[in-house]
A = this chain, B = another copy of it.
Amino acid sequence: MTRVRVTAKDVARRAGVSPTTVSYVLNNVKEANISEETRQRVLDAAEELEYVPDAAARALRSGRTQTIGLILPPSQPYPQANPIHLRVMEGLLEVVQQSEVRLLVDSVREAQNDDAYLNLAWNKRIDGLILSDLRIDDQALAKLVDDKFPMVLLGRLPRSKVSSVEFDNRSGAQAAVDHLVEQGHRHIALITHAPSTITGAQERIRGYRDSLTAHSIIYDEGLVRYGGYSAESGFAAATSLLMSERTFTGLFVTSDEVALGVLSALHKHGVSVPNDVAVVSFDDNPMARFTIPPLTSVRLPFEEMGRQAGRMLLDLILGKIKPGRQILLETELVIRESSVRKK
């Protein structure tokens, strides 16, 4: 950087006031009651000098970093980057940009009991934290809760009182399966997008069972397969279902990514969708409209999740709200060709 650093002192000198006044004006401190004329002089001087306050100095003195952290899950179980996280992040960016707050992104590193994001909080790089898809037994999380560090979870932890934003996975899944039942299906298989230790997957399985129960259909473990995030796992799970020679005419897959692999496997085995098997999926990614056939899917408002989590965290940091609020976002079933048998 060749640029010579302009400080508040320089602005003060130019405006003929003290650095104190510069700080009051630039931070809009109402209690200071700065006269309009002085205010304007300071503002002009700051602009002429292209003054930009030093973030580190401000953070050190005020104790506020004006930065929040977003922690993504380890990339390991996810075979490739999950577009979902980026959609959440976009919503989050919208909110932080409006508030002049910055976003620090980190991911949990596997293996080691990760204290990287703990340090993020402890060395005061951030004022608050948004945690995505975490493990239930997270040690670092427990410590931060003890410290009353401002935090919002994406997804819920069972029996946890931490603030969170989550989709209503259970009722969304129930709606998906209800739809299949309405189409006349009684033998409905299930392929999950994650192991059942992940609360999101758990809830979707619950919704599946809720629907079966509501329609007096007996739950059959033999029709259930546990996928793992990728299209590849969906391909394998669907193949396994077909090989089992069990009868099913409906199939609920708990993510679009996995469903893509499922459609590929069904096509490869000559199983026609929706005529032989009707498929309903979850997420409603943009691509769901362009699979062959287009996927019926439960739409999840990812960007909205990011926005809500961001607002909640900022309010938490400012002390405007108390921790423990838990938001549940509505889902919406979008019906396309994959689930509706042609006449």
Binding site for B on A (CB under 8 A): 1-3, 50, 52-57, 59-60, 65, 67, 70, 75, 79-83, 85-87, 89-90, 93, 97, 102-107, 109, 116, 119-120, 122-125, 146-149, 230-232, 234-235, 257, 260-261, 263-264, 267, 285-287, 289-292, 294
Contacts and interface: CB of A to CB of B under 8 A. Distances in A.
Contact of A264 (B55, B79, B122, B292): B292
A267 B286 contact: no
Q: How many copies does the complex hold?
A: 2
A3 B124 CA distance: 12
Contact of A289 (B54, B86, B231, B267): B231
Given A106-B103, A123-B52, A1 B148 contact: yes
Contacts of A119: 52
15 contacts: A1-B148, A1-B149, A55-B123, A56-B125, A80-B285, A81-B87, A85-B86, A93-B106, A97-B109, A97-B116, A103-B104, A104-B105, A260-B291, A263-B292, A287-B287
A286 B231 contact: yes
Given A65-B56, A124-B55, A260 B148 contact: no
A64 to B, nearest CB: 10
A78 to B, nearest CB: 9
A2 B67 CA distance: 19
A105 B120 contact: no
Given A123-B52, A125-B55, A105 B80 contact: no
A319 to B, nearest CB: 12
A56 B292 contact: no
A222 to B, nearest CB: 25
Contacts of A267: 292
Nearest to A115: B52
A332 B1 CA distance: 39
Contacts of A52: 119, 122-123
A93 to B, nearest CB: 5
A301 to B, nearest CB: 13
Contact of A102 (B93, B120, B287, B290): B120
A89 B81 contact: yes
Contacts of A87: 80-81
A43 to B, nearest CB: 16
Given A122-B52, A290-B261, A81 B81 contact: no
Contacts of A54: 60, 123-124
Nearest to A81: B86
A231 B36 CA distance: 54
Nearest to A230: B286
Contacts of A53: 123
A292 B268 CA distance: 9
A27 to B, nearest CB: 14
A52 to B, nearest CB: 4
